[in-house]
Structure 1
Amino acid sequence: MGIIIAGLLLAVLMGSMDNTIVATAMGTIVGELGGFDKLMWVTSAYMVAEMAGMPIFGKLSDMYGRKRFFIFGIIVFMIGSALCGTAETIVQLSIYRAIQGIGGGAVLPIAFTIMFDVVPADKRGKMGGLFGAVFGLSSLFGPLLGAYITDYINWSWIFYINLPLGLISFGLITLFYKESVEHSKQKIDYMGAFTLVAAIVCLMFALELGGKEYAWDSGMIIGLFLAFAVLIVGFVFIERSAQEPIITFGMFKNRLYSTSNMMALFSGAAFITASVYIPIFIQGVIGGSATNSGLILLPMMLGSVVTAAGGGSLLTKFKYRSIMIATLTLLVIGIALLTTLTPDSSRFILTIFMILIGLGIGASFSVLSNAAIHGFTARQRGSASSTLNFTRELGMTLGITVFGIIQSHIFTNKLAAKFSSGGEVPDGIDLGDPSQILTPATREHIPTQVLDQITEALSSSLVQTFAWAIIPAVIALLAALAMSKEKFDPATELEEYVAGH
């Protein structure tokens, strides 16, 4: 069993580290490839593909077995990683990231489900904490590794590093994982899968293109929103009548399950906003390198490791509800404190804020993963686990897209206000391309007076974006307060484990 767990942990490390390792390199990547206006697509393209695949692969793993789809996910993820390293434009990079996301949509949720299948129930709490800690560790080493590789090698290697991890995981799972649970072949819900993916794509294009390439009231944007509405309504109707739906809505009648998904959705939106925009604040406002922005995220990621591992260990002593209320309170406080940042803020103060946010999000990786499958049979756990991961990714995707729109709008307006009064802009300085202030080399060539005005506008836009991010953090906390009072029971879980094997 230990070898199988090692293979799963490597795959989780590979998939979960990908976003954090990219986050600290984004300033440099955009500085080289250009396309600051398409910055969010590098992250959101991955997330859209990943979250669209999660419930589909989760359901397929329940029907046909975990192993084949887990291996498929690893192969696709490695192909996407190899392609990302060759990207020459921001558009190419976004497309290749979407391929990565398809692989991630199979790897991450199925890894957790395999763990629940092979680990005895009395050890599942601690093992869930270990898997949650790997999420935290990926967040810890991802920024450092991404920053080091970007500064001293080349940013393309932040993608190539996934290849050896994927190959080792592939070998271990292929050779040593033997499925013991019987899976019956059933009808695949193709229409449900199609409408779900199409609805998500329409929504993301509407949010990304609105206010940029097309006006919000243009026929294109209105049409995309209408298509999303029609498709999502169609998806609900299809799922309610499907023999084997991709997402089983009946599961949401379980209060513990529904509140767990709600917390994953909104805490993910708040957390991703901090993860993406803190490095931009460091590089664009304070003027640090990619390494500095990676280091500044370390306290946040270390905090997430502590509560991810600690939350899993405390499952047998405290209710799911109690753990989540305590940690999400810290998340709300940490996000709220980010709104006090200024260009003169000290690194020490920012470190304290990051620690609080990390402590606030960590338990959601381990505690919610256990809470989501609580009370469900082995045959339902793949769907339950993948749906939880889907809602988390949905929250992160919508969060980075919506808050990206907010930040971009505020920043553009601030710049327009500062330079519309006739302020002289030196030749060669394009105020429509903020990537110029994300790399130290280009900052040196911008006159101090102009740089100060740009950084002040960027700082203000980021702080106001953090203020908006308080809303989903508070909603996540309210969901924790509404959570039912179940507690992880090793004896009951052990009975279900034996029955399933």
Structure 2
Amino acid sequence: AIAMLATFYREPAHPKPPRINYLAPLLLMLGGSALMAALIQGGTLSRPALVGCVAIGVAALASLVVRERHTEAPMLPIRLWRNRVVALTNGGCFAMGMVMLSVTAFVPLYVQGVMGRSATATGAVLGTMSVSWALSGAIAGRILVHTGYRTTAMIGGAALAIGSIVLVAVTPARGPLWVGAGTMLVGIGMGFCNTTFLVSVQAAVERTQRGTGTASNIFSRLVGQSVGAALFGGLVNLGVMLIVPEARDAAENLMDPALRRGLPADELVALTQAMAAALQNVHLVAAVAGVAALVVGSRLPRTLDATAPPSRRRE
């Protein structure tokens, strides 16, 4: 890859390299961290601490927006987000990130913690998503050429939603194969959506903005994963506490084989049932995110002429 880039890639030199905007990532980190802390620890923080986290987060993100509007080298140009295709694909990537996180972080908890299966079974289930993601991404590129952005994005969004619904319906009796079917569908959805959103955002902006447009896609997906981690973690904690109020370190007790063997039979049953119910809520919210990705896909243009100026691109 390095040899091909060195041989074939030609980039015109910039007469005046832009200044690096150091303050923007610091404001983003401060604002995002404060809001994530409020979401994740909201149930344990005192009211002043919770209000303080929210206030700091909102103030930092508002300052970031002001900074981005007036700086010479914005990290995420505001005008780029006014592009309809960019805004849509970034929203879709946000939803993708949430669905992806629901699988990578919480499916192992179900397979090992609720079903009592081994880490090998968990690896096989997650591997199904990785393989289907890679294969469907390649297939999506072929289909996109013939059907357009809208169709492939809608296929991906539908697969994300259906895969999450399959995971909602999982029970310990159905075993890892059922879970693998759900993760496979999610992987297909990720492959179709990721390929479509990436290509469409690059076709929707000027050549000089393609790197920024691509980065905004990746950034939106990472934000979706972060919000998903906070939201889903809160759902699991709340769900377990409502059913088993006295439970402490439920996930650790269920995932660690030694701790699991040391639990009394009635407590083990109560914990697994509470965890199963809480994880159902996680995948239910992920299914809603999948539907959101489907809606985004339906709003994308069928075609974009990447050679035309953004204002004259055919939709």
Instruction: Please say if 1:484 is aligned against 2:301.
Output: yes
C-alpha distance after superposition, 1:75-113 (max 9, x if no partner): xxxxxxxxxxxxxxxxxxxxxxxxxxxxxxxxxxxxxxx
Opposite residue 337 of structure 1, the aligned amino acid is V
Instruction: Please say if 1:468 is aligned against 2:299.
Output: no
Match of 2:40 in 1: 208
Offset, 1:323: 0.4
C-alpha distance after superposition, 1:120-145 (max 9, x if no partner): xxxxxxxxxxxxxxxxxxxxxxxxxx
Instruction: Please say if 1:410 is aligned against 2:239.
Output: yes
Q: Quote the Cα distance in structure 1 between the aligned partners of 2:161 and 2:107.
A: 16
CA 1:347–1:444 in structure 2 vs 1: closer, same or farther (change >3 Å)? same
Q: TM-score when scaled to structure 1?
A: 0.58
Q: Quote the Cα distance in structure 2 between the aligned partners of 1:262 and 1:443.
A: 40
Instruction: Please say if 1:381 is aligned against 2:210.
Output: yes
Opposite residue 34 of structure 2, the aligned amino acid is C
Q: Quote the Cα distance in structure 1 between the aligned partners of 2:28 and 2:259.
A: 43
Q: Quote the Cα distance in structure 2 between the aligned partners of 1:412 and 1:330.
A: 32
Percent identity for Structure 1 against Structure 2 = 22
Match of 1:343 in 2: 172
Q: Quote the Cα distance in structure 2 between the aligned partners of 1:392 and 1:471.
A: 16
Instruction: Please say if 1:292 is aligned against 2:124.
Output: no
Q: Quote the Cα distance in structure 1 between the aligned partners of 2:300 and 2:82.
A: 13
Opposite residue 474 of structure 1, the aligned amino acid is V
Offset, 1:393: 0.4
Answer yes or no: is the 8 Å Cα contact 2:121–2:176 preserved in 1. no
Answer yes or no: is the 8 Å Cα contact 2:111–2:117 preserved in 1. yes
Q: TM-score when scaled to structure 2?
A: 0.89
Aligned residue for 2:174, secondary structure, equals coil
Match of 2:311 in 1: none
Q: 1:449 aligns with which of 257, 266, 277?
A: 266
Instruction: Please say if 1:187 is aligned against 2:10.
Output: no
Q: Quote the Cα distance in structure 1 between the aligned partners of 2:140 and 2:3.
A: 23
Offset, 1:220: 1.0
CA 1:203–1:431 in structure 2 vs 1: closer, same or farther (change >3 Å)? closer
Q: Quote the Cα distance in structure 2 between the aligned partners of 1:384 and 1:333.
A: 29
Q: 1:283 aligns with which of 99, 105, 112?
A: 112
Offset, 1:228: 1.2
Q: 1:261 aligns with which of 76, 87, 90?
A: 90
Opposite residue 444 of structure 1, the aligned amino acid is R
Q: Quote the Cα distance in structure 2 between the aligned partners of 1:347 and 1:243.
A: 53
CA 1:261–1:442 in structure 2 vs 1: closer, same or farther (change >3 Å)? same
Alignment of 1:228-247 (within 5 A): 228-247=57-76
Match of 1:366 in 2: 195
Opposite residue 213 of structure 2, the aligned amino acid is A
Q: 1:198 aligns with which of 30, 42, 64?
A: 30
CA 1:239–1:431 in structure 2 vs 1: closer, same or farther (change >3 Å)? closer
Offset, 1:277: 0.7
Q: Quote the Cα distance in structure 2 between the aligned partners of 1:303 and 1:431.
A: 36
Answer yes or no: is the 8 Å Cα contact 2:90–2:217 preserved in 1. yes
Offset, 1:397: 0.8
Cα RMSD after superposing both structures? 2.3
Match of 1:74 in 2: none
Opposite residue 484 of structure 1, the aligned amino acid is P
Offset, 1:376: 2.7
Q: Give 5+ residue unaligned stretches, structure 2.
A: 309-315
Offset, 1:179: 6.0
C-alpha distance after superposition, 1:416-449 (max 9, x if no partner): 2xx6xxxxxxxxxx74453122122332232323
Answer yes or no: is the 8 Å Cα contact 1:247–1:387 preserved in 2. yes
Q: Quote the Cα distance in structure 2 between the aligned partners of 1:192 and 1:439.
A: 41
Offset, 1:280: 0.6
Q: Quote the Cα distance in structure 2 between the aligned partners of 1:380 and 1:225.
A: 33
Q: Quote the Cα distance in structure 1 between the aligned partners of 2:195 and 2:159.
A: 17
Q: Quote the Cα distance in structure 2 between the aligned partners of 1:355 and 1:434.
A: 25
